[in-house]
Amino acid sequence: MRFFAEVNKQAMRFMSDEHFTADGTAIQAWASQKSFRRKDGSDDGYGTDFHGQSRTNLMLESTNDADARLYKKSCGKDSKLSYLGHALVENRNGPIAAAMVTHADSLGERDAALLMLFEKQQGRSRRITVGADKAYDTKDFVRTVRELNVTPHVTKNDHGRSSNLDRRTTRQPGFAVSLSWRWLIEKGFSWLKQTGPPRQVKLRGLEKVDRLFVFSCAAHNLIRLPKLMAQPPGGLREQCA
């Protein structure tokens, strides 16, 4: 989106071009649970009474918004018709460097992160880093980001299995630094959902929801700019390489 690009041109001098964090957040769709019905159009009560029935995105879709998917962000949460909003946040001061929306599914967060990192690395030869939570500690993600000339600073998921990160990455001082500043992306998501419209969008369709989310990310950066401009010279936080 042009507005997002223009805002980020102004924020560029406050942003590191080397250290980022990636994450995704669920966006509740403007669709009711009762609209989730069989794709073949049969109406036998399956779409309105889910008691004892299995609900899957392969068999069902919303009649309100066909792009919405039934999704829950974590265990213990209710499944809701949703999209996934994704952001790549700069680790020095927290502006959002890239944003996009995808369908809500288990692979959405990692696939979106790879797309944003690919765009960020276009025309660059210098390696960058990306911090992320343990959901990104998969063999495919770690291998692919390295192929993109990106160092994965991902929280190790070694609960009942081996992490896909080895000592060549985790022993570096920058690994701990990246993980310590992952909260910056949660701060951005918090603003988007409390102040902006992405908590539950009032638009339907992937393209429209994507535009709204990216516009909201641009607004977040625009509001942050005056505070960044007021910083004294040399006040930017230095990061480990």
Instruction: Tell me the per-residue pLDDT of 94-151, one tens digit each, with 9 for 90 and over.
Output: 899 999 999 999 899 999 999 999 999 988 888 999 999 999 999 999 999 999 999 9
pLDDT computed for residue 1 by the predictor: 66
Catalogue all structural domains in the chain, each as residue range(s) with its CATH number.
2-30+82-229 (3.30.420.10)
Residues 6+ away with beta carbon under 8 Å from 42: none
Phi, psi values for residue 210, rounded to 5°: -60, -45
Instruction: Tell me the per-residue pLDDT of 72-92, one tens digit each, with 9 for 90 and over.
Output: 877 767 788 999 999 999 998
Bridge-based pairing of strands 128-132 and 19-28 is parallel
pTM above 0.75, yes or no: yes
Res. 10 pLDDT band, cuts 50 70 90: confident
Query: Residue holding tokens 């995808």?
Result: 102
Q: Whole-angstrom Cα distance, residue 11 to residue 97?
A: 9
Instruction: Tell me the per-residue pLDDT of 190-213, one tens digit each, with 9 for 90 and over.
Output: 999 998 888 889 999 999 999 999
Q: Whole-angstrom Cα distance, residue 234 to residue 197?
A: 35
